[in-house]
Amino acid sequence: MTDTDQIVEPGAQVSPEMTKSLCKDLSIALEKFPKVRLGHLPTPLEPMDRLSEMLGGPRLWVKRDDCTGLSSGGNKTRKLEFLMADAQKHGADTIITQGATQSNHARQTTAAAAKLGMGCHILLEDRTGSNDRDYILNGNVLLDRLHGASVSKRAGGTDMNAEMEALAETLLAQGKKPYIIPGGGSNAIGALGYVNCARELAEQAASTGLHIDALVHATGSSGTQAGLVAGIAAIQSDMHLLGIGVRAPREKQEQMVYDLAQKTADYMGTGLTIKRGDVRANCDYVGPGYGLPTDGMIAALKLLAQTEGLLFDPVYSGKGLDGLIDQIRKGYFDGMENVVFLHTGGSAALFGYPDTFGLPGYSD
């Protein structure tokens, strides 16, 4: 933030002119952090009118962060622009990170490391217990290897942070300079990518006269939602933010997001105090567990593919869309006119779940 910050009274709607001014202030505040360009930004903001008409609720829009461009795109690219720059700042030549087997974060990290000429080691935790060949070798895992990363597997429940630290010690002994990126890129540095996304989205809306009543997205490792919470607070937007949980129970998910959002605001030096009530997560759509299909996810993903021609993923955006659709039907967004869904990418993971959708074979 700058010395010319303007404060909006609680409950007052920010004018497009003030939004632009606050977004400019936020952009200036973000410039002090090192950043390397990896993504195609800004990503498109598009209406989903066929889906909107079918559901009969608010007009639905999609923020296309599947179009960030890095190894088929996704939300982690925004985080990696800051994280990889920080790695370069520290003189790193090797990246270490971790995720679940079909990790979108791992895929995008391997691509970023390849683009910047760094080595990359990926540790994948088996969170589903599946030994299906497509799941453990296809989709994101195939792309991890194609980008030249070293990929190794760990049992479910492993202390993945400890495993990354141990690998870093081994690499240091070999003369490497490793840099550890947490799962999902979810720390205060990575969350800056979604502080910036909140600014970008607000500017897109203001430039077209669109008032966004709510923003909905899938929330897991918490970095995306935490960055959005901090960014929305910085620009004093009245946008209602709702995360649809894909892993943890609601109280745990909201606490993780809140803690990281406050750390992110502190890291930026904004002086903002994040309101606990601004952190909302609905975790009713996780189903039997992280990465495990649900009937609602399957139906939602098929519906979107066949009405809007968009591909969501079965782990994150698919469950997020299931939550959005169900909450529209239950009246959660009654009285709202425009609701945006943030598409966090990950369609490569579909190829790890080829039998999930019960699709017919070839027709004559």
One-character DSSP codes across 224-259: HHHHHHHHHHHTT--PEEEEEESSS-HHHHHHHHHH
- Cα 232 from Cα 23, distance rounded (Å): 10
- What pLDDT, on a 0 to 100 scale, did the predictor assign at position 2? 42
The two three-digit tokens of residue 56, written as one number: 């009969």
- What pLDDT, on a 0 to 100 scale, did the predictor assign at position 270? 87
End-to-end CA distance of the chain: 62
- Cα 145 from Cα 254, distance rounded (Å): 34
Buried residues in 192-217 as b, exposed as e (16+ CB within 10 A)? bbbbbbbbbbbbbbbeeebebbbbbb
- What pLDDT, on a 0 to 100 scale, did the predictor assign at position 6? 53
Give the active site residue among 52, 71, 72, 103: 103
Helical axes 188-208 vs 76-89, angle rounded to 10°: 130
The two three-digit tokens of residue 364, written as one number: 């004559």
Which residue, 57, 10, 32, is CA-closest to 216? 57
- Cα 252 from Cα 232, distance rounded (Å): 22
The two three-digit tokens of residue 174, written as one number: 């070999």
The two three-digit tokens of residue 276, written as one number: 């606990």
User: pTM for the full model?
Assistant: 0.95
The two three-digit tokens of residue 234, written as one number: 């910085």
- Cα 153 from Cα 267, distance rounded (Å): 33
With the C-alpha atoms ordered 187, 189, 194, 198, is the resulting torsion angle positive or negative?
positive
Instruction: List per-residue pLDDT tens for the chain, 364 residues long.
Output: 444 345 545 445 678 889 999 999 999 999 999 999 999 999 999 999 999 999 999 999 999 999 999 999 999 999 999 999 999 999 999 999 999 999 999 999 999 999 999 999 999 999 999 999 999 999 999 999 999 999 999 999 999 999 999 999 999 999 999 999 999 999 999 999 999 999 999 999 999 999 999 999 999 999 999 999 999 999 999 999 999 999 999 999 999 999 999 999 999 998 999 999 999 999 999 999 999 999 999 999 999 999 999 999 999 999 999 999 999 999 999 999 999 999 999 999 999 999 999 999 877 7
* Cβ–Cβ under 8 Å, residues 298 and 359: no
Asked if 152 is an active-site residue, the reply is no
- Cα 230 from Cα 149, distance rounded (Å): 33
- What pLDDT, on a 0 to 100 scale, did the predictor assign at position 16? 84
- Cα 54 from Cα 328, distance rounded (Å): 11
- Cα 89 from Cα 35, distance rounded (Å): 10
* Cβ–Cβ under 8 Å, residues 341 and 60: yes
